[in-house]
Amino acid sequence: MLYKDLDRSAQERLLAEIEKKLQTYKDLNLDLNMARGKPSPEQLDHVTTLFENVSMDNFMSEEGIDVRNYGGLYGLIELRRVFGSMLKIEPESVWCLSSSSLTIEYDLLSRLMLFPLPGQSKAWRDLNEVKFLCPVPGYDRHFNMLDSFGIKMIPVPMNDEGPDMDLVEELCKKDSSIKGIWTVPMYSNPTGESYSEKTLRRLLSMEAAEDFKVLADMAYAVHHLHEDPAEQDPVYPLLDLAREEGQPDRVFVFASTSKMTYAGAGVACLATSENNRAWLLPSLKSQMISADKVNMLKHARLFRSLGGVESLMKAHAKVLGPKFELVLEAFDEKLGPTGIATWTRPKGGYFVTIWVYPGTASKVYARCKELGLSITDAGACYPYGKDPEDSALRIAPSYPHMDELREAINLFCLIVREQALLKLLEESRS
């Protein structure tokens, strides 16, 4: 029976049973972690084994660059091709600039604040106000970046095709101080949902400020959980779509190998139009001579030896897929019949979003922390940490071993049930 349909005495009895079970967890002094989408040791060990078989007997790139020396500002063409294939973008439009896409994203925001875009007389820092649309639930680190620059964040709800485009179009049409939108178009962080082609085309063609930009973080472009293509969401060619919609300069695309090889120690890229690359070039030349080309060559040779990225991603999926299934099965079994929560069922990425009983997410987070279970802060997936319903929580199943994950998710479900019953009893008294 749904918890809300139980009478008060039944709710109290059920709460007492759950709290008794939770006391046994408290006595265990647990240290369980589902807070961040980190690759597991098993995944990293597999990557390490693969790299051990990569030959670095010479340091010459395909174009004859000695990767140990200066030069090659845009990165190695052999790795730009890898990213181009992943993103469905011509490799000439892809620049490999760092080991972290977050670093590139922050640098780009800095440039947008400092330097006027083509056709503009002022940089964003010289405007009265700069605003960004932020699909919610969304990626907390994107929000932190915007906040650090004093950019005002406007939350826009997500649906199963991406952000609410009717609202996005309405806001942008009437407010030219809205200069951009953060997006994770493929297996979004944290919901796991992917943008439809219709949504992407509307974003790229809609009426907006002349210098409006779509920042597209494609962190999960090849992170499918299933081998069957029918169970995978498609990657759309964002630069091609932008050109087709008459706004070739509207989009910047980011990606990295962080969850493919080594987190923060792989290769990251930026892809955008010819005009945008020309705008970037002067400040980029002032900043750097080249990124880590030795690491690029090592990655390029790894992917070549594997015949592309697909076999590596299948290996990751074999580890990740069962973990996601475990979480979803636990939610179906332990929370489904109660009517106190809903959740996403992603086909890829690193997260599941769960909406617990309204008004309890922060208490679920605190209770988890008390009992030795780390999850992402309640509210983290909203600008300024403010979830108006105090309901959304992000679950990251990737890092724990299966046995630890099973224990963690069982504990989490008990806490969600406990806090829902406490809230229901509180509501019945008011």
Length of the chain as a residue count: 430
Report d(CA 274, CA 92) in Å as an integer. 9
pLDDT for residue 286: 97
Tokens of 397: 């199943």
Q: Which residue has the tokens 């919609």?
A: 245
Report d(CA 105, CA 145) in Å as an integer. 9
Give the orientation angle of helix 41-52 with respect to helix 293-306, to 10 degrees.
90
pLDDT for residue 27: 86
Report d(CA 426, CA 430) in Å as an integer. 7
For residue 380, which of 134, 104, 215 has the smallest C-alpha distance? Answer: 134
> 83, 89 in Cβ contact below 8 A?
yes
pLDDT for residue 215: 98
For residue 151, which of 177, 116, 114, 175 has the smallest C-alpha distance? Answer: 177
For residue 413, which of 22, 13, 31 has the smallest C-alpha distance? Answer: 22
| CATH class of residue range 61-307 | alpha beta
Torsion of CA 361, 157, 136, 197, to 10 degrees: 140
> 429, 23 in Cβ contact below 8 A?
no
Mapped onto helix, strand or coil, the DSSP state of residue 315 is helix
Residues of the chain with pLDDT under 70: none
Tokens of 248: 């070739």
Whether the CA torsion 319, 325, 331, 334 is positive or negative: it is negative
pLDDT for residue 307: 95
b/e per residue, 1-33, with b = 16+ CB within 10 A?
A: eebeebeeeebeebbeebeeebeebeeeebebb
Domain 3-44+312-429 belongs in CATH node 3.90.1150.10: yes
Q: Which residue has the tokens 């493919």?
A: 260
> 39, 399 in Cβ contact below 8 A?
yes
Report d(CA 80, CA 76) in Å as an integer. 6
pLDDT for residue 430: 78
Q: Which residue has the tokens 């679920």?
A: 364
pLDDT for residue 1: 80
